[in-house]
Structure 1
Amino acid sequence: MHTHAPLIIDVAGVELTDTDRQRLAHPLVGGIILFGRNWQSREQLARLCAQVKAVRPDLLIAVDHEGGRVQRFRTDGFTHLPPMAAFGQLWLSAPQKDELEGGPALRATNSASAAGYVLGAELRACGVDLSFTPVLDLDHGESSVIGDRSFGRDPRMVSVLAQALMHGLRASGMGNCGKHFPGHGFVKADSHLAIPVDKRSLKAILAEDAAPYGWLSASLDAVMPAHVIYPRVDSKPAGFSPRWLQDVLRHRLGFTGAIFSDDLSMAAARRIEGREVSFTEAALAALTAGGDMVLLCNQSVVDGGAPIDEAIEALSKAMVQGDWQPNPASEERRLALLPRGAAMDWDGLMVSARYMHALSLLP
């Protein structure tokens, strides 16, 4: 068994090709991230996931499935999950007649757990292992890319609702991934297109946006850093910064789970300290900074997937030359994200009391 499989790659279609199988079988590849183009129907998705597991049972099958506008599968029975802001709004709503003070907050918490259960159970019924959720970013009212993906403005409310969502995910057998550390909600720019810069001090960020990571350090299985530069802390974006990933996230906030880079094909991921960098340089920088896994998204559709092959080859070469050391602890953290226990199949799920009750609690 390989000591560390850090690459999370994607595939172009709705089933695996022989080339996909070859890439997924490579010992440096640890998983796959699915997109809307990989979806036709539940039956097809389940078949695709089974094809991936047939290559290697330990491959992690992940997706961005949060609810609201970030939900990859929306048809053929998948529940349209509300955006996270809906739970924050419920929390802040007025108590109902004869309801105790704080009742709406507790109802919102229960509702968020229900959403986590529905989200996790539906994905698992089709063979998906992990969704990159919850969003822990605070809604400062500035960021177009975060917006209603955030539970709200107050880090305490965000932490409690995220904890509740993760409880529901856990009940379905699924892990979680908090994002985007140490906070993407304060900046206007969209890191898919540009490099956002947040000029606040470390103290200000720790007091607010990064606070949920400390409060949830015992519950978070994984964290995804933001492609944002915080120049008063480090000149590198958070995902390439040992200061952020090791000094702050691991040591100061006590996080022990897996660190995923955000998508390394994003504009913000391809510049480090003013210099254009290749995928491979970006991947090595993220891993060397303390990341466990790196995401190369939407590259299977570029030149027949040439960028993926280049990244695999370059990482292999870096390992042989001693420029990169595989980390057995990273591999343990990756394997810990695979679901425990068998998933309920779709038909069984649809008639289960827990699932039906969870649906009734959604806002």
Structure 2
Amino acid sequence: MTHGPVMLDLEGYELTEDERALLANPLVGGLILFARNYRDPYQLQSLTRAIREVRPEVLIAVDHEGGRVQRFREGFTRIPAMAKLGELFLQDPEQALELAWDTGWLMASELLAYGLDFTFAPVLDLDYGFSEVIGDRAFSKRPEIVTRLADALIEGMHEAGMPATGKHFPGHGYVAADSHVDLPVDERSFKEIDESCLKPFVALAPQLDGVMPAHVVYSQVDNKPAGFSAHWLKDILRRQLGFKGVIFSDDLGMAGAAAAGGYIERAHAALDAGCDMVLVCNDRKGALEVLSGLEGYSFSPRSEQRLAALQVMSRPTLESLDADPRYNRVADQLEAMAQI
């Protein structure tokens, strides 16, 4: 098994001996980095090199969207919250779309140059004004604006050579509860969801390389959170939307995932529902339980192929970015916008 179905996290700035042993487990197919894993650019480069020495093919990811969700700050371009692009779109759509493309390109280029494979972006949720956990992470409350700006951002990421992952399917923005600490319930009908939150996912399914479902129950559609629902993932996302890429679970350590049971039950439920890879973050004991509970699991060869397709084939160098007038121009634009 080259790309196993589990994505784990790391404790600090360097790999520990225990983490080296964990990385050698064939069930581990990915690592996600957090702010606690970042001190400065040199250290990040050393960390990703050390990871590749143990497992060259492992997928290295991060939540690096801009605004308040940007894990690496010192030494990286400050990316504005995506709502800033939504505000610009209302004044000057053409300028906003061009900047969204450049934002995707720059954000991806910086991460690739430091050895990462992808960031979990873009956020395709709508900002209804109810959800503090989504809020300005969303481009807009209007699905057509979210779709156009996200499309441009994805094109920019693809230009840089990075896969794009849309979240949180089929939309987290309507519920006030935060799935990190609660299990939100969206009581709208499928028709209401289809005519609003689902629109960006429908439009962008062909361009997306990955999708992350929400730990939200859409009670009129299914009694399980979307990430544990075969109806949402297999019937709607795969069959109706024709999505061909990777389905990642959201973090199984979140309170919204507890509805599925303990860690082992959560992992099995997510994979059985249609996820290709499960994330287990901020709980090493839970991660070890998942690895133990998945021993002998019959992992789909199709899932492994989808995950293999996320491997990055070429990366820019830091030197090439520093010398690129476009990179410097866009970095200045984004820094200025982020400070407003």
Q: Contact 2:281/2:287 (CA < 8 Å) preserved in 1? A: no
| 1:358 partner letter | V
Distance in 2 (alpha carbons) for counterparts of 1:163 and 1:357: 22
SS at match of 1:61: strand
Instruction: Measure how far apart 1:355 and its partner are.
Output: 1.1
Instruction: Please give the residue correspondences for 1:119-198 in structure 2 after superposition, counting only pairs within 5 Å.
Output: 119-198=107-186
Instruction: Measure how far apart 1:325 and its partner are.
Output: 2.2
Q: Contact 1:188/1:196 (CA < 8 Å) preserved in 2? A: yes
Q: Contact 1:3/1:328 (CA < 8 Å) preserved in 2? A: no
Instruction: Measure how far apart 1:353 and its partner are.
Output: 2.3
Deviations 1:291-350 (A, max 9, x none): 000000112xxxxx333222111110xx2xxxx421011111111111121x22223211
Q: 1:62 to 1:3 in 2, by over 3 A?
A: closer
Q: Contact 2:2/2:57 (CA < 8 Å) preserved in 1? A: no
**Is 2:290 the partner of 1:311?**
yes
Name the structure 2 match of 1:351.
323
SS at match of 1:180: strand
| 2:319 partner letter | D
Q: Contact 1:261/1:286 (CA < 8 Å) preserved in 2? A: yes
Runs of 4+ in 1 over 3 A off after TM superposition: 360-363
Instruction: Measure how far apart 1:86 and its partner are.
Output: 0.4
SS at match of 1:220: coil
Q: Contact 1:3/1:326 (CA < 8 Å) preserved in 2? A: no
Name the structure 2 match of 1:335.
308
Instruction: Measure how far apart 1:4 and its partner are.
Output: 5.2
Name the structure 2 match of 1:202.
190
Name the structure 1 match of 2:63.
64
TM-score (norm 1): 0.90
Instruction: Measure how far apart 1:148 and its partner are.
Output: 0.2
Name the structure 1 match of 2:280.
296
Q: Contact 1:117/1:358 (CA < 8 Å) preserved in 2? A: no
Total equivalences in the alignment? 335
Distance in 1 (alpha carbons) for counterparts of 2:262 and 2:59: 25
Distance in 1 (alpha carbons) for counterparts of 2:255 and 2:199: 27
Name the structure 1 match of 2:250.
262
Instruction: Measure how far apart 1:358 and its partner are.
Output: 2.6
Distance in 2 (alpha carbons) for counterparts of 1:208 and 1:255: 19
Alignment partner for residue 221 of structure 2, among 208, 225, 233? Answer: 233
| 2:102 partner letter | A
Distance in 1 (alpha carbons) for counterparts of 2:110 and 2:207: 22
TM-score (norm 2): 0.96
Deviations 1:248-307 (A, max 9, x none): 1111111110000000000010113xxxx11111011000000000000112xxxxx333
| 1:313 partner letter | S
| 1:347 partner letter | E
Q: Contact 1:68/1:149 (CA < 8 Å) preserved in 2? A: yes
Structure 2: gaps of 5 or more residues = none
Q: Contact 1:4/1:326 (CA < 8 Å) preserved in 2? A: no
Q: Contact 1:114/1:359 (CA < 8 Å) preserved in 2? A: no
| 1:15 partner letter | E
Distance in 1 (alpha carbons) for counterparts of 2:2 and 2:11: 28
Distance in 2 (alpha carbons) for counterparts of 1:340 and 1:108: 29
Q: Contact 1:213/1:255 (CA < 8 Å) preserved in 2? A: no
| 1:140 partner letter | Y
Distance in 2 (alpha carbons) for counterparts of 1:206 and 1:35: 33
Pair member with larger Rg = 1
| 2:147 partner letter | S
Q: Contact 1:116/1:168 (CA < 8 Å) preserved in 2? A: yes
SS at match of 1:134: coil
SS at match of 1:163: helix
| 1:278 partner letter | G
SS at match of 1:234: coil
Q: Contact 1:4/1:328 (CA < 8 Å) preserved in 2? A: no
Distance in 1 (alpha carbons) for counterparts of 2:143 and 2:239: 20
Distance in 2 (alpha carbons) for counterparts of 1:347 and 1:150: 32
Alignment partner for residue 88 of structure 1, among 86, 94, 110? Answer: 86
Distance in 2 (alpha carbons) for counterparts of 1:179 and 1:119: 17
Instruction: Measure how far apart 1:354 and its partner are.
Output: 2.8
Distance in 1 (alpha carbons) for counterparts of 2:63 and 2:262: 24
